[in-house]
Amino acid sequence: MQIILKNLKYLIFILSVVVLVGCSEYSKVLKKGTLDEKQAYANKAYKKKDYVRALPLYEELLAAYRGKPESEEIYFYYCYSNYGQGQYELAAYHFKNFTENYFNSKHSEECAFMYAKSIYKQTKPYFLDQTSTQKAIDEVQLFLNVYPESIYKEEGNNIITELRGLLQNKAFQTAMLYYKIEDYKASILCFKNAIKAFPDIENKDEIEYLILKSSYLFAKYSVIEEKSIRYESVFSYYKEYFNKRTPSPFEAQAKDIYNSSEQELIKHKKSINIL
């Protein structure tokens, strides 16, 4: 146990010395280093993913080389340093700015993609506002339109597929929320909108069934004056979504709803005559 503690103390001492030496070297370069020394240290820190130290040096170098050829490469690494720190909004701004100021650069295509990717990194979970998700899809698609044979094509398509999945899930969960709180009129509209917006949505069969079921429950719990016309809507949804789908995983449930609607409509009409 004593040997372990002794070795641990020695390790902590060594690490402390390394940190102090590193800080001392960085401080010296930052305050008194030449431009070449600062760029060398910044590049060294960048390679180690030490963006906290790299960024201030790159900022100073950008100011010193403003309007000169050296600024292009410095700005390129500056953009990536912001991205590496997780400052995606700032990174997006600078990557876009790079493509506008250095449109003939060998890094232009890469920075155009990284701008779109930085927007993608700002997207939120599906249960939050998805404005940023749609913006990311638009920006990635724009990049692919401009660079159809880009080396980033596959990654861009994967990003779009992932983000469309988020939007699809958002649309479905919104409709399910209305369904669960028994606002069937709203759930029908949202389920239909989900299919309209995403014709290839993964759980299309389930959504079509839920439209039918929502319309049935909407009719069942309607006021007497509205029941007849709403049951007719159930029959219409049944014919529209399920007669043409063979087979459907929800075919049996759909038929049960259709049969129940027929029986309940007959009872309803009889009750009206009696009244």
pLDDT in tens, 66-99: 999 999 999 999 999 999 999 999 999 999 999 9
In the chain, where do the E strands start and end? Answer: none
What local confidence, expressed as pLDDT, does residue 100 receive? Answer: 97
Do 98 and 68 meet the contact criterion of CB atoms below 8 Å apart?
no
> Which of 2-11, 30-39, 119-128, 214-223 has the weakest average pLDDT?
2-11
Model pLDDT, residue 142: 98
* pTM (2 d.p.): 0.80
Per-residue pLDDT, 244 = 63
CA contacts within 13 A on the Cβ side of 23: 6
How many whole angstroms separate alpha carbon 187 and alpha carbon 190?
Answer: 5
Q: Are 185 and 218 in contact (CB under 8 A)?
A: yes
Model confidence pLDDT, tens digit, residues 110-159 = 999 999 999 999 998 777 778 899 999 999 999 999 999 999 999 999 99
b/e 240-270 (16+ beta carbons within 10 angstroms → b):
ebbeebeebebeeebeebbeebeebbeebee
The Cα-based distances of 151 to 11, 54, 109, 257 in angstroms read 45, 28, 10, 51
Q: What is the pLDDT of residue 179?
A: 97
Q: Give the pLDDT band of residue 3 (cuts 50, 70, 90).
A: very low
Residue 9 has pLDDT above 60, yes or no: no
Are the C-beta atoms of residues 234 and 216 closer than 8 Å to each other? yes
Q: Do 152 and 113 meet the contact criterion of CB atoms below 8 Å apart?
A: yes
